[in-house]
């Protein structure tokens, strides 16, 4: 892959133009643009393994052809740590039948701080010989190893990596579990967090956060408000978020395992939820809501819920659904800040953010 700076700049400008055009009907201000490194920006990668010439090779497939493998030795868009580990891991499985037998997929998860975890996926049970070899591999590479086989999981070291991100003059520590969602571009994620931190500003009231994940935004935003009610439906992400809140001594956040749709029902008093037992929703003085929904955006009821708040801070991985949600809110809220984050260089995907304030 050629990392041509001029080509990157042209692609970036195309994304900015696309976002600007989508938000033009809402009189959006000119977006702030946050660029990505041209290479070594992706902190996670997943590869199938393909046998050819009597050896297993890292392989990927194009979206147009899922049958013809593209054999690779390195992956320049992935982090330097992943590129360092790829040949070391390949040499290890080539030298060990215990590691290579029926190995079909490899996953890497790394951090800006240099922590690394490798998941090895097998079409066979993992035996004592595998454990001996995997323990040695973890020690040799200074990584955690996860072995996966037919619904079972063996952990050597930790089943997470720890990321450290600087936001608002403070370093936050994030536990990122194996298999859970994390932002792939750590450099741009840090820029995104700082933008959201500044956009929210210091506030005397409370924040509602929907889709909080592992607490990526929760931790820094909690330092800007009186208290936070945050929701997330994934058990893995909830457990990671609770660990992250504790690790960073953030004690003004109440986290509940509810979907955004369920919380909407709870706030509308449609029905009670046992998971809200002991939480007095009426004690909150919400001035702002923060949302980071999946690609489908907010459903109409959740979107309508956000209308109640003076400030809506919205991070989106899909500008089309962002624009559709803003269309529903435009009669009561206006865009006062706008940003484009190039989380996914060399693709058409982008992350964007807006701050909507009540008219």
The DSSP string of 14-50 is HHHHHHHHHHGGGTPPPPEEE---SSS-B-EEEEEEE
Residue 314, annotated as binding a ligand: no
Catalytic-role residue among 303, 317, 320, 338? 317
Residue 292, annotated as binding a ligand: yes
Q: Estimate to the nearest angstrom the gap between the alpha carbon of 226 and the chain centroid.
A: 26
| Buried b or exposed e, range 320-344, using 16+ CB within 10 angstroms | ebbbbbbebbbeebbbebbbbbbbb
Residue 301, annotated as binding a ligand: no
3 state SS for 118-133:
EEEEECCCCCHHHHHH
Residue 232, annotated as binding a ligand: yes
Distance from C-alpha of 158 to C-alpha of 312, rounded to nearest angstrom: 37
| Buried b or exposed e, range 157-179, using 16+ CB within 10 angstroms | bbbbbebebebeeeebebbbbbe
Residue 94, annotated as binding a ligand: no
Output 204-207 pairs: Cβ under 8 A, ≥24 positions apart. 204/287, 205/285, 205/286, 205/287, 205/288, 206/284, 206/285, 206/286, 206/287, 206/288, 207/286, 207/287, 207/288, 207/289, 207/290
The answer to whether residue 351 is catalytic is yes
- Residues placed in the known binding site: 183, 211, 216, 232, 292
User: Which residues are part of a known binding site for S-adenosyl-L-methionine?
Assistant: 183, 211, 216, 232, 292
Active site members: 317, 351
């Amino acid at each position: 892959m050629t990392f041509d700076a001029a080509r990157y700049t042209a692609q970036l400008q195309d994304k900015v133009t696309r976002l600007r055009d989508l938000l033009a009907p809402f009189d959006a201000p000119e977006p702030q643009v946050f660029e990505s490194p041209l290479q070594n920006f992706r902190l996670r990668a997943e590869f199938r393994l393909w046998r050819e010439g009597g050896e297993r090779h890292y392989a990927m497939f194009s979206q147009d052809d899922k049958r013809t493998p593209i054999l690779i030795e390195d992956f320049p868009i992935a982090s330097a740590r992943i590129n360092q580990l790829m040949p070391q891991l390949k040499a290890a499985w080539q030298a060990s039948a215990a590691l290579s037998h029926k190995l079909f997929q490899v996953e890497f998860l790394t951090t800006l701080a240099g922590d690394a975890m490798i998941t090895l996926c097998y079409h066979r049970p993992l035996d004592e010989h595998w454990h001996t070899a995997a323990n040695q591999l973890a020690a040799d590479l200074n990584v955690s190893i996860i072995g996966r086989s037919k619904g079972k999981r063996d952990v050597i070291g930790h089943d997470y990596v720890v990321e450290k991100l600087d936001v608002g003059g403070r370093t936050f520590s994030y536990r990122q579990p194996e298999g859970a969602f994390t932002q792939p571009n750590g450099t741009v994620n840090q820029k995104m967090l700082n933008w959201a931190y500044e956009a929210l500003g210091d506030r005397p009231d409370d924040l509602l956060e929907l889709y909080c994940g592992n607490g990526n935004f929760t931790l820094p935003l909690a330092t800007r408000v009186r208290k936070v009610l945050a929701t997330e439906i994934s058990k893995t992400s909830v457990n990671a978020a609770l660990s992250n809140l504790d690790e960073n001594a953030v004690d003004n956040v109440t986290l509940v395992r509810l979907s955004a749709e369920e919380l909407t029902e709870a706030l509308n008093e449609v029905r009670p939820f046992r998971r809200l037992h002991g939480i007095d929703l009426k004690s909150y003085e919400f001035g702002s809501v923060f949302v980071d929904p999946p690609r489908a955006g907010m459903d109409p009821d959740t979107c309508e819920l956000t209308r109640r708040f003076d400030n809506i801070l919205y991070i989106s991985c899909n500008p089309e659904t962002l624009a559709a949600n803003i269309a529903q809110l435009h009669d009561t809220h206006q865009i006062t800040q706008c940003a484009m984050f190039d989380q996914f260089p060399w693709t058409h995907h982008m992350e964007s953010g807006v701050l909507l304030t009540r008219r």
